[in-house]
Amino acid sequence: MKKHFKLNGIVILSLLFMLASCGGSESNNKQSEGGSQSESNATGNSNDPMKNKGIGPVQSITLGNLDQAMVDEGQKIYTAKCSACHKAEEKFIGPAPKGIMERRSPEWIMNMILNPEEMVKSDPIAKQLLIDYNLAPMANQHLTQDEARKILEYFRTLK
């Protein structure tokens, strides 16, 4: 997974200092190339949560007919990797996935599973959820994209 560099105060200060002390000479410090290529996903669409695709590897998901085999596998993975903090039908450490397909886009859900650190830092919905849920962080359980997709299929059954 690509790690995105986040500009912080120290870097900005040191960049400023370098510019000042070097008379604007070209710097090839890689830290100056900060920024996130996928941040654009999150911009401009945060008002309608169903249009927010989140930040992460998943760009577009098309949902077909429900695949029961995927649902079953997804439920198993969910039990093993997620159920310590998420109960299907009730709020626990984190929110319940029941009805989530009505609240979030499929891409957002998968990006939240696959890229939680960046989501809670930069995605407006995920940031608010972290605050609402008592600053309990969403753990990165290092699922594959395929595993996250199966969990998504399972979530389609939680209405």
Which residues are near another protein by CB under 8 A? Answer: 14, 17-18, 21-22, 25-26, 28-29, 79-81, 83-85, 92-93, 134-137, 139-143
Which residue carries 């209405």 as its tokens?
159
Terminal CA-to-CA distance of the chain, rounded, Å?
31
- Least CB distance to another protein at residue 22 (A): 5
Residue type, 61: I
With the C-alpha atoms ordered 69, 115, 39, 121, is the resulting torsion angle positive or negative? positive
Q: How far apart are CA 74 and CA 50, in angstroms?
A: 22
- Least CB distance to another protein at residue 1 (A): 12
Shorter beta-carbon distance to another protein: residue 51 or 91: 91
- Least CB distance to another protein at residue 92 (A): 7
- Least CB distance to another protein at residue 24 (A): 11
SS3 5: strand
Shorter beta-carbon distance to another protein: residue 101 or 112: 112
Shorter beta-carbon distance to another protein: residue 54 or 116: 116
State the Cα torsion 57-60-81-119 to the nearest 10°. 50
